[in-house]
Amino acid sequence: MDELPRNFPYTARRTTYLTIVCSFGFLLLMESGGVALVANLLITNPWLRISINLVHLGLCIFIAIAMVSVLSTRHRITPGGLQLNYGRTLHVQLPYVAIRDVQPVRDVQAGLQPLTARYDSKKQELVACFSDQGQLLLRLHTAQLLKIGHKEHLVSSILFNVDQPELFLTTLTPYLQDLMEAVAEIMPPHTRRSEDALVRSVQAQSQSGQLVIVIENLTRRFADFVAVDKLNMTIGRGEIYGFLGSNGAGKTTTIKMLVGLLEPHDGYIRLAGHDVWSESVAAKRLLGYVADRALLYDRLTGREFLAFLAQVRGLAKNVADQKIEQLLAVLDLTEYAQRLCGSYSFGMKRKLALAGALLHEPAILILDEPFNGLDPRSARHLKDLLLVLARQGTTILLSTHDLATAEAICDRVGIFHKGRLMAEGSAVELRQLAEAPDLETVFLQLTSEQKEEVGV
């Protein structure tokens, strides 16, 4: 590997820029100088003349620094991470664990913007391109709060350019690969998971405090029956949390309270800091929800149903159309999109409901038995999609009876029984706790009648 740190400039086309800057600066200097000269001739108060001259000088210096400072900054690859520097407006350091990938951009995404970096709120993208040459797109595992100028924004991707993109990628890639190898080495062989799970596990540790779902003392009764009994639970950003339990354990009741369909008798729920009941509109904007039974309009086609949901969510038509086609393709529904929803099979209805939940790219996705009725191929596609969403920062609460799936893709699982959370943790932690070979055995031990009698 190359010795670090390495500096990478991004201003190869500086000659044209300097010509523009000098021309603009000369015109500004002449104009402001003329104003200052007239003021000195007409104003007799010496202190006022000095003040005007100082203001004129300060303005010239400020503009010169703002225009020229971009030429002196460099991106840096260091042992601790990647530093992106852009003029006076952007100085951020990204640890390698936060970086999902960096890819060259084939089609130009942004034109010249030499003075400041800008933020695209729709894409959660930071754009810092001095020119249209050597553009690279960096994607993060989860959105991070980065300071751009004097403001902080939630950023999922960064578009920037370097003069030598091939050398930059050649230098950076080994450090991203070494991170994965180092994580894999410290994990015991029987606990190693897929690359996605490893990255999300490390990322979750690096993002302590970023809790998206907070449940405290949540209680719900139906007459004398306590369906949910003082539930306490937290889920972090970008985490897949498996909600496991027998029929009647209280999972669906909890989920209905989470999405605002059922009011608790005690306790509270906060979604990204918003109370589900006192700030219901703000909380529900963050949500995508798929119920255990898909609720569709039978007389609408699949595409019409998704277009209707996009209008309800306030999505622009061009954005909605693109998203609809993407989701139909991912969920293998394109060839059925013109059919009426009433003609769909149970599995197809489940997939269409999931597409509707993902239309507005929710920060929180709550799924109640999403694998019911899906064929093996569709179930595999859904698992892959959930992993991708988690890597992009979506928090996922997944209620399922499929213990193998929960063990394969969930960062943590909670075992729910008779309204109470019996145990929670990673599949490895729960297996070690119960001294069991797999999650199914753990589940059966914790929910057995024998455990109930001793009050576990």
CA 311 to chain centre: 23
User: What does the pLDDT look like over 114-170, one tens digit per residue?
Assistant: 567 888 877 788 888 887 778 898 988 767 778 887 787 878 889 998 888 888 988
Torsion, Cα of 433, 439, 441, 444 (10° steps): 90
Torsion, Cα of 32, 35, 36, 38 (10° steps): 160
What's the mean per-residue pLDDT of the chain? 79
Put simply, whether the predicted model's pTM sits higher than 0.75 gets the answer no
Closest CA to 146 of 89, 227, 100, 203: 89
CA 203 to chain centre: 12
Residue burial 332-355, b: 16+ Cβ < 10 Å; e: rest: ebeebbeebbeebeebbbbbbbbb
Residue 367: predicted pLDDT: 92
Q: Is the pLDDT of residue 355 over 80?
A: yes
Q: Is the pLDDT of residue 219 over 90?
A: yes
Q: Is the pLDDT of residue 4 over 90?
A: no
Q: Is the pLDDT of residue 365 over 90?
A: yes
- Asked whether 90 and 78 are in contact (CB, 8 A), the reply is no
Q: Which tokens in the block code for residue 170?
A: 């050649």
Alpha-carbon gap, residue 370 to 293, rounded angstroms: 9
**Can you tell me the mean pLDDT for 313-340?**
90
Closest CA to 393 of 83, 145, 179, 137: 145
In the sheet that holds 81-86, the strands lie side by side as 6-8, 75-78, 81-86, 90-94
Q: Is the pLDDT of residue 34 over 60?
A: yes
**Is 394 in a helix, a strand, or coil?**
coil
Alpha-carbon gap, residue 351 to 367, rounded angstroms: 12
Please count the other Cβ atoms lying within 10 Å of the Cβ belonging to residue 275: 14
Q: Is the pLDDT of residue 209 over 70?
A: no
Q: What is the DSSP string of 217-277?
A: EEEEEETTEEEEEEEEEEEETT-EEEEEE-TTSSHHHHHHHHTTSS--SEEEEEETTEETT
User: What does the pLDDT look like over 260-278, one tens digit per residue?
Assistant: 999 999 998 999 888 898 8
**What are phi and psi for residue 169, nearest 5 degrees?**
-65, -40
Q: Is the pLDDT of residue 183 over 50?
A: no
Q: Is the pLDDT of residue 446 over 80?
A: no
Q: Is the pLDDT of residue 452 over 50?
A: no
Q: Where are the domains of the chain?
A: 1-185, 207-449
CA distance readout (Å), 99 to 176, 200, 226, 399, 426: 8, 11, 45, 29, 23
Closest CA to 412 of 242, 162, 261, 212: 242
Domain 207-449 part of CATH 3.40.50.1950 = no
Which residue type occupies 435? Answer: E
Mean pLDDT lowest among 51-55, 212-216, 324-328: 51-55
Alpha-carbon gap, residue 235 to 212, rounded angstroms: 6
Q: Is the pLDDT of residue 26 over 70?
A: no
DSSP-H helix ranges across 71-223: 165-186, 195-206
* Rounded (10°) angle between helices 302-312 and 346-358: 30
